[in-house]
Amino acid sequence: MTSTRQGDETQFSRAIHEGILMDQTILPDKRAEFGNLFAAFFKSYPMSEEGQRHTKLYLQGRESGRKHFEALVTKTARDGDVTDEVLLHLLPHANNSGNRDKQAWIHVAPAVTKDLKSWFEGAGWTSPKDWPSISSAILSFVQRCVDDPDQLADACAAFAELPYSKGFQSGMLSPILNAIRPAEYLLINNKSRKVLNYFCGADFRYSLEDYPAANELAKKLVADVKEEIDDHKSDSELPVSDYFDMFSHWLVGVQKYAFTRPKYWKVSPGRDAKNWDSCRDGNFIAMGWSELGDLSGLGRSDYEQRRDKLVAENSDWTKQGANQAWVFSRIKEGDQIVANRGTHEVLGFGTVSGPYYYVEGEEHAHRIPVNWDDISARGIEENGWRKTIIKLDHDKFETLLKAPPKGEGPQVPPEHMNPIYSLTMLTEETGLDEPLLQRWINALERKGQAIIYGPPGTGKTFIAEHMVKHIIGGGDGFSEIVQFHPAYAYEDFMQGIRPQTTKDGQLRYPVVPGRFLDFCERATKRQGRCVLIVDEINRANLSRVFGELMYLLEYRNRAVPLAGGGELNVPQNVRLIGTMNTADRSIALVDHALRRRFAFLALYPDYDILTAYHEGTGINIEGLANMLKKLNKVIADRHYEVGITYFLREDLHEQIEDIWQMEIEPYLDEYFFDQPDKAKQFRWEAVKELIAL
């Protein structure tokens, strides 16, 4: 195969797509996707600074792992008890000061992020008396697999049956096998498992029992792409198999790749869309063939028996027509729905928000909950749209999104349309619960303006920016951000005199629109939502900055004259989102007149978000989460709690000491300025062993 070393990624992608490679490993409908990603990986990551560091860690970890194993085999024959050495030297540890001090085996794919014994005993998986037996079982398992790779499946099954095997998964035991025999054993951890499951249609769990099958599939995939890897890796000492692990790390840990791809469905809400109003207002999509009854939990054969009976009883029924209800009932949460009226009009785009359900007694009883992301009618020409439900591909869905809206007003060029950012996508990227986010968006729509408030480090601006992506998605609106500060004035925000020099050198003093007036003027030329984010909104004198806007925030349908001339009315499509750090100024100190004009959305530290984020990094943050809970309990004021965004970093195990000493400790010194003993108990030296990343 021709090399793609010069950066031409098309040949490899084309080879994948045409099935030249991976006929038995990669699913046919994912070959092009894999090829594009694999080529992009080689083009951007291995030769980058981070990629080179990654490469060195493989080589260093493998060399030290082999030495550890050989030394343990020798020492076992001589001394017998090697409990501590096995736990420290055969299991992959994170690269932190505590593990380095203990001379543990540092590995590029760490599974042990803190003291193993206290971790497992605290979880109730083991007791202190178990450790000699556990270490003996680990060493026996490794020796058995190293001596005879054909024994892998039996060895994994035997180890998994031990009463103290809980917690020892493939990510913990495969690294030492890979270090000793890399050609036989690949690294299978959470990242590589996700890649195999998605691209190969597998369903591997993290358990050791699934490791043999996952290892075989990964070896076959690597063999299929070996030629391409050899072309790219040049003179690197890295085994071919390590590139699969590096690709998995890049895809999951660096790119944050979304493995769950939605399916796209065109569904007509009744003949001539007669149910559209009900579907739109009730947040669902519905289908007929109600005589089939509830299809929840029904197997295919049972469904077909029910269908065939009804087809025989109803002369106007066909199996093909009735099967549409079956397909409809299997639509999944996160899939995208296009509601249409005939072949010439799209009525809305929505995201499936829950499982299929059945409403007894309704003409269109089969239903799926949908959050309608965009209900702008669009003109189309789709003469093939005769069925109630049709599966669409991604390109068709994107084309429909770009169709110009119908109705009065200027037509929106497709290039001005914002991509749909569904509520499900918003939930996945922010980590907040979907019902909570929906309530926040409803509150913003009800009031027209909202303030996200909370202590530092909770991600207020991040949440606001992602909410805006959802709000303007599918329309031609836009968003901007402005940051308030103590010197921010009415003239900056509304309007004011600005000296200007003319061409002949004369000074003139025109009244110039401020940031908000200019924003409103541009919003009048758009049909979609336009959102202005005011970051740190409480750092300015709001009554002075807003001026006449204070009145209009409450009476949106009116206009008021401005002090500098002209008048202002806030366009109906304008929304305001403020962010407010409660450590700077309590919400209780905000002017009451302003408070009643805004919806206030509380955002406090969410430790589940911290845990979910680090599931993809392999860093165990249980100790850190517990320490933050303890710290915030001592702070004892929700407005001043320490948030979790300080610790949402891929390289947290390397940066945690600096983050704690340079960002957390100064904050605590200020907060506990009159109680130094409270700050002292949270110094890095006092907490580092408990955090133990």
Q: Is the pLDDT of residue 14 over 70?
A: no
* Dist. CA 296–CA 309, nearest whole Å: 19
* Dist. CA 657–CA 663, nearest whole Å: 10
Which residue in this structure is represented by tokens 């970051």?
Answer: 535
Return the HEC string of 81-104.
CCHHHHHHHCCCECCCHHHHHCCC
* Dist. CA 89–CA 79, nearest whole Å: 16
* Dist. CA 689–CA 111, nearest whole Å: 17
Q: pLDDT digit string (tens) for 80-118?
A: 678 888 888 898 888 777 778 788 888 888 888 777 887
Please tell me the predicted confidence (pLDDT) of residue 234: 59
CA angle 92, 182, 692 (to 5 degrees): 10
DSSP SS3 for 199: helix
Q: Is the pLDDT of residue 629 over 90?
A: yes
Residue 287 contacts residue 277 (beta carbons within 8 Å): no
Strand partners, 479: 531
Residue 34 contacts residue 22 (beta carbons within 8 Å): yes
Residues 6+ positions from 234 with CB-CB distance below 8 Å: 5
Residue 349 contacts residue 372 (beta carbons within 8 Å): yes
Nearest Cα residue to 220 out of 57, 443, 21, 499:
21
User: In sequence order, what DSSP letters do the residues of 128-180 get, joined into one string?
Assistant: GGGHHHHHHHHHHHHHHHHH-GGGHHHHHHHHHTSTT-TT--HHHHHHHHHHH
Residue 691 contacts residue 625 (beta carbons within 8 Å): no
The more confidently predicted of residues 57 and 412 is: 57
Q: What are phi and psi of 3, to 5 degrees?
A: -65, 150
Residue 458 has which token pair? Answer: 């909770």
Residue 359 has which token pair? Answer: 């409403």
Q: pLDDT digit string (tens) for 490-541?
A: 888 988 877 777 777 777 767 778 899 999 989 888 878 899 999 999 888 8
Mean of the pLDDT values across residues 336-361? Answer: 86
Please tell me the predicted confidence (pLDDT) of residue 2: 33
Residue 104 has which token pair? Answer: 């543990």
Distance of CA 675 to the CA centre of its chain: 40
Q: Is the pLDDT of residue 56 over 80?
A: yes
Residue 461 contacts residue 579 (beta carbons within 8 Å): yes
* Dist. CA 632–CA 629, nearest whole Å: 5
Please tell me the predicted confidence (pLDDT) of residue 410: 46
* Dist. CA 321–CA 605, nearest whole Å: 51
Residues 6+ positions from 10 with CB-CB distance below 8 Å: 39
Please tell me the predicted confidence (pLDDT) of residue 416: 60
Largest CA distance in the chain: 97
- Give how far Cα 299 sits from Cα of 239, 295, 320, Å: 47, 9, 18
* Dist. CA 161–CA 145, nearest whole Å: 17
Enter the DSSP assignment of 448.
S
Q: What is the dihedral of CA 229, 230, 231, 233, to 10 degrees?
A: 80
Which residue in this structure is represented by tokens 């919806």?
Answer: 599
Q: pLDDT digit string (tens) for 450-493?
A: 999 999 899 999 999 999 999 988 788 899 999 999 899 988 89
Distance of CA 548 to the CA centre of its chain: 41
Which H helix or E strand runs over 68?
helix 49-79
Residue 690 has which token pair? Answer: 């408990």
User: In sequence order, what DSSP letters do the residues of 325-392 get, joined into one string?
Assistant: HHHHHTPPTT-EEEEEETTTEEEEEEEE-S--EE-TT-TT-EEEEEEEEE---EE---TT--SSEEEE
Question: What is the percent of the chain with per-residue pLDDT over 70, rounded to a whole number?
Answer: 91
Residue 443 contacts residue 598 (beta carbons within 8 Å): no
Residue 431 region by backbone torsions, left for phi larger than 0, else alpha for psi between -120 and 50, else beta: left
Nearest Cα residue to 580 out of 458, 666, 480:
458
Residue 324 contacts residue 389 (beta carbons within 8 Å): yes
Nearest Cα residue to 26 out of 244, 243, 261, 220:
220
Strand order in the sheet with 574-581: 479-483, 530-535, 574-581, 449-454, 599-602
Q: pLDDT digit string (tens) for 550-561?
A: 888 887 778 888
Query: How many C-beta atoms surround the C-beta of residue 306 within 10 A?
Result: 17
Mean of the pLDDT values across residues 14-39? Answer: 64
Please tell me the predicted confidence (pLDDT) of residue 408: 41
Task: Look at the pTM and tell me if it is higher than 0.85.
Answer: no
Strand partners, 560: 568
Residue 4 contacts residue 232 (beta carbons within 8 Å): yes
Residue 234 region by backbone torsions, left for phi larger than 0, else alpha for psi between -120 and 50, else beta: left
Q: Is the pLDDT of residue 23 over 50?
A: no
Q: Is the pLDDT of residue 3 over 70?
A: no
* Dist. CA 494–CA 32, nearest whole Å: 52
Q: What are phi and psi of 411, to 5 degrees?
A: -75, 140
Which H helix or E strand runs over 560?
strand 560-561
Question: What is the percent of the chain with per-residue pLDDT over 90, rounded to a whole number?
Answer: 16
The more confidently predicted of residues 124 and 318 is: 318
Q: What are phi and psi of 319, to 5 degrees?
A: -60, -40
Q: How many CA atoms lie within 13 A of 614 on its CB side?
A: 25
DSSP SS3 for 563: coil
* Dist. CA 91–CA 177, nearest whole Å: 10
Enter the DSSP assignment of 499.
-
User: In sequence order, what DSSP letters do the residues of 376-409 get, joined into one string?
Assistant: --EE---TT--SSEEEE-HHHHHHHHTSPB-SSS
Amino acid letter, 395: D
